Structure 1
Amino acid sequence: MNDATRPPIRAAVRPGHVVRLNDVTGDALDQLVDQVAPDLPVILDYRGPDDRSAHAVASEVLDALELILIALFPSWLPGGAPGQLWDVSDAQSAARELCSSSRLSPAVTVELARSAAAGTRPRRHPAAELRATGLVDLLRHAYGRPDVVLAIRASGDLSADAQHAAVTACEWLAYHGRLTVWLTDDALPAVERVPVLRLRSTAADIQQDATASQTAITEPAHTETTPPVLSVSRPTGAPAPHSAAEQALEASLSRQRWAQDRRWNRAPDDLDPLTPSIIVDLMWTAERIVVEVDGADHRRPGKYARDRARDNMLQRHGYLVLRYTNEQVLADADLVAAELREMIEARHTDDDHPTGSREHQWTTRS
C-alpha cells in the first residue's frame, strides 16, 4: 500500500462508531483484508447479516470471532507459536499469566485457552458485553495492533427491518468491542442514520495498490463456493485462521520435521525492489518454492490473469510456484504435503545439500 492511502484509512478508524465508506466496495475490502501491513487495523470481514434479530447477528459475529481466535492459538499465549501442541493445564496457566500482565479478560482468555488446547469450543461464556470486549481485546493482542475494524457487507434485498436490526447489532459491537464498524457503500442502504465518509481517492488507491501487490482472500469454507461468515486479516507467519484449507495443510506440515522451514503469508525478500510487493500463502525460501491455496474466486478472469502475472514474476526470480485448490487440500492434506516434500527434495542441489545426508536427516527426524 502506498503512503498516500495510509492517512485516510487511519481517519476512517473511529472506535465505538459505525460509519459508511463512500465508494468502498466489497472488492476493495477483499484486497485490504489480504494485506499483512502491521500499521493497518485488523480487519474483520463479515458477510453474514440476513433476516434475523440484532441479538442473533451480534452472536454470530462473536461465535465466528471465537473460532478465529481458537485457530490462532497458541500464538497469543506467552511463548506460543503456530503449530505447537499445548497441554490443557499449561495453556490455562499461561493464559492466567498473560491476563495478570495485561488488561485481558481472564473469563474469556483462560476459557478460550483451555478449550483451544483441548480441541473443543468453550463450555461457558461471560455476559455478552464482557465477551465482546474480551474477544476483541484478545484479537488486538494476537495481532499486536491497537485497532480493529468490522467491515459489513449485506444484501440490499434485506427488508428494512432486517437492515435496521443489523445496524443495531453493529452499534452494539462497536460500543462494547471498542472497534470501528465500516459499512461498504452498498451495504444496508435503508439505514440512513450512519454517517458517511467520502473517501473516493482512498477507495481507488486501496483497490489499485492492493490488486497489484497482494493475493486475494482464499475461500476456506466447506464447499468451494461458500465464503466464510467472518474473515480476518492474514497474520504474518501463520496460516489464515479463517481458512480451513490452510489450517488443514498446516496441521499436516506441523507433524513433519522436513517442513520446519516453511513460512506462511510472507513476502519473498529477494525480489527486484522496483516490483510490487507480493504476499504468498506459503513458501520455502532456501528451496525457492511458493505454494498457493486457491478458492473458487481464483478462476474468475480478472483474478486468474493477476495470478498468472504474479506466477510469471516469481518464476523469473527462480521460484517454483505450486497451486492447489481448497478442495485438493481438504480432501487429502497429507497427500499435498507428500507432494511438497518431493518437490523440495528435487530442488536441493548436490553442492548445498548432499543427497545422502539430507535424506538421512529427514528420514530419521520425520
Structure 2
Amino acid sequence: MDEGVTTEVEAALRPGHVLRAEDITGTAIDDLVDEISPRLPVFLDHRGPDERTARSVTTEVLDALEQILLDLFPTWLDGEPGQLLDVDEAVYAARELCHREGLVTGVVLDLARAAASRSAPRRTQAPELRAAGLMGLVRHAYRRSAVVLAVRASAEMSTASQRAAAAAYEWLAEHGHVTVWLTSDALPLIDRIPIVRLGLGITDRAGEEPGGRAAASDQPVLLVSRPVGAPCPNSRAEQALEAALARRGWARDRIWNRRPADLDPLAPAVVVDLLWTAQRVIVEVDGADHRRADKYASDRARDNMLQRHAYMILRYTNEQVLTDADLVADELRDILAARSASASAHRPTQLEENTWTTRS
C-alpha cells in the first residue's frame, strides 16, 4: 500500500467516532487487513451483526477480540511465538507491561493468566474497562497507535436491529477509543453517521458477494490485521502449524508473515505466510478463497516471481494442516534438510575461492 493511500487512511482516523466510508467495500477491507505496513492502523474486520441487541453485538466483538489476543500470546509480552511461559512468569511480565505502557492492569493480567494456564479468562472487569483494556493491548501488540473497527453488514436488517448495531458501534468507539468505519452499504437506515471518502481505488472482485455474515460464513466473525512475525490469529491452520513447529528445534529459524528482504524493489510487495531465509523456503497456508479464479491467478504470478529469486514455494491447504499438522511439519523438516545439504554441496571450498580469486 503506497504512502498516498496511507495518508488518506490517516485522514479518516477519528478515535471515538463512527464514520461511513462511502468508498469502502468488503474487498477493500480484505486488502487492508492483509497489509503489514506499520504506518497503517490495526484493522479489525467485523463480519457484521444480524438481528440482535446492542449488548450482544458489543459482547461478540469483545469476546472475539479477547480470543485474538489469546492466540497472539506471548508476543504482546515480548515473547516469541510458541514460547512457553508459566503462570507466574506471565503475570509478572504482564504487570511490568501495564506499569510501562499504562494499560488496564486487570484486563491484561486476566488474559496473561488465562493464556499461560490455558484456561478461560475470568472477565471480572466492567465492560467499559474491558473495551479500553483489550483495544489498548491490541495497539501495543501491533506497535501501532490506532485501531479501526471496519464493519460490513447486510443491508436487509430490520430498522430496530440497525439502530441497535449503530448504538453498539458508537459504544465501542467511545470506550475502546477506536474509529469505526461502516462499509458503504452497512446500516443504510442510520443517517446520522458522517460520511468520508478514502480514495483507495479498490473495486469489488468479479462474482464476489456483498459484505455481511452470510457472505463470509466460513470466516471468524472478527478478523484482525496480519501480525508481523507471528502466525495469524484468524487462521486455525497457521495456529496449528505453529504449535507443531514450536516443539521442533530444527524449525527455530522460521519467520511468520514477513516480506522477503531480497526481492526486486520494483516488484509488487509480497508478504509470505512462513519463511526460512537461509534455505530460501516459503510455505503458504491457503484457505478456500485461494481456489477463486482471480486469487489462483495472482498466486501463480507471485509464485513465479519468487521462484525467479530462487525460493521454493510450498502450498498446503487449511484442511491438510488441520488434518495432520505433524505430517506437514515432518515434510518441511525433510525439505529444509535437503535444501541445506544442496546449498552446502554447491558452496565453494576455501581452495576453490582462493583459486577463483587468483584467476580473477
TM-score normalised according to structure 1 size? 0.89
Match of 2:283 among 269, 284, 291: 291
Deviation at 1:207, TM superposition (A): 6.2
2:61 and 2:331 map into 1 onto residues whose CA distance is 37
Match of 1:305 among 280, 297, 312: 297
The answer to whether residue 312 in structure 2 is matched with residue 320 in structure 1 is yes
Taking the TM superposition and a 5 Å limit, the aligned residue runs for 1:33-112 are 33-77=33-77, 79-112=78-111
Deviation at 1:353, TM superposition (A): 7.3
Query: Could you say what secondary structure the match of 2:101 adopts?
Result: coil
Deviation at 1:162, TM superposition (A): 0.9
Question: Percent same amino acid at aligned positions?
Answer: 60
1:33 and 1:162 map into 2 onto residues whose CA distance is 26
2:345 and 2:139 map into 1 onto residues whose CA distance is 41
Deviation at 1:197, TM superposition (A): 0.5
Deviation at 1:101, TM superposition (A): 2.0
Deviation at 1:160, TM superposition (A): 1.5
The answer to whether residue 165 in structure 2 is matched with residue 166 in structure 1 is yes
Q: How many residues align?
A: 336
2:8 and 2:123 map into 1 onto residues whose CA distance is 40
Deviation at 1:64, TM superposition (A): 0.2
Deviation at 1:247, TM superposition (A): 0.5
1:256 and 1:36 map into 2 onto residues whose CA distance is 27
Taking the TM superposition and a 5 Å limit, the aligned residue runs for 1:237-248 are 237-248=229-240
C-alpha distance after superposition, 1:82-134 (max 9, x if no partner): 11101011111111121122211111011110000011220233000010001
The answer to whether residue 256 in structure 2 is matched with residue 264 in structure 1 is yes
Residue 194 of structure 1 corresponds to 193
Deviation at 1:39, TM superposition (A): 0.9
8 Å Cα contact 2:16/2:174 also seen in 1: yes
Point out where structure 2 has 5 or more consecutive residues left out of the alignment: 206-215, 347-360
**Residue 207 and residue 43 in structure 1: after superposition, are their counterparts in 2 closer, same or farther (change >3 A)?**
farther
**Residue 353 and residue 165 in structure 1: after superposition, are their counterparts in 2 closer, same or farther (change >3 A)?**
farther
Point out where structure 1 has 5 or more consecutive residues left out of the alignment: 212-223, 355-366
**Residue 132 and residue 84 in structure 1: after superposition, are their counterparts in 2 closer, same or farther (change >3 A)?**
same
Q: Which amino acid aligns with 2:146?
A: D
Residue 203 of structure 1 corresponds to 200
Give RMSD over aligned pairs: 1.7
8 Å Cα contact 1:225/1:296 also seen in 2: no
8 Å Cα contact 1:133/1:177 also seen in 2: yes
1:97 and 1:263 map into 2 onto residues whose CA distance is 27
**Residue 351 and residue 80 in structure 1: after superposition, are their counterparts in 2 closer, same or farther (change >3 A)?**
closer
Query: Could you say what secondary structure the match of 2:344 adopts?
Result: coil
C-alpha distance after superposition, 1:172-212 (max 9, x if no partner): 0000000000001111112111111023xx220x569xx9x
1:207 and 1:130 map into 2 onto residues whose CA distance is 38
TM-score normalised according to structure 2 size? 0.90
The answer to whether residue 341 in structure 2 is matched with residue 341 in structure 1 is no
Structure 1 segments of 4+ aligned residues over 6 angstroms from their partners: none
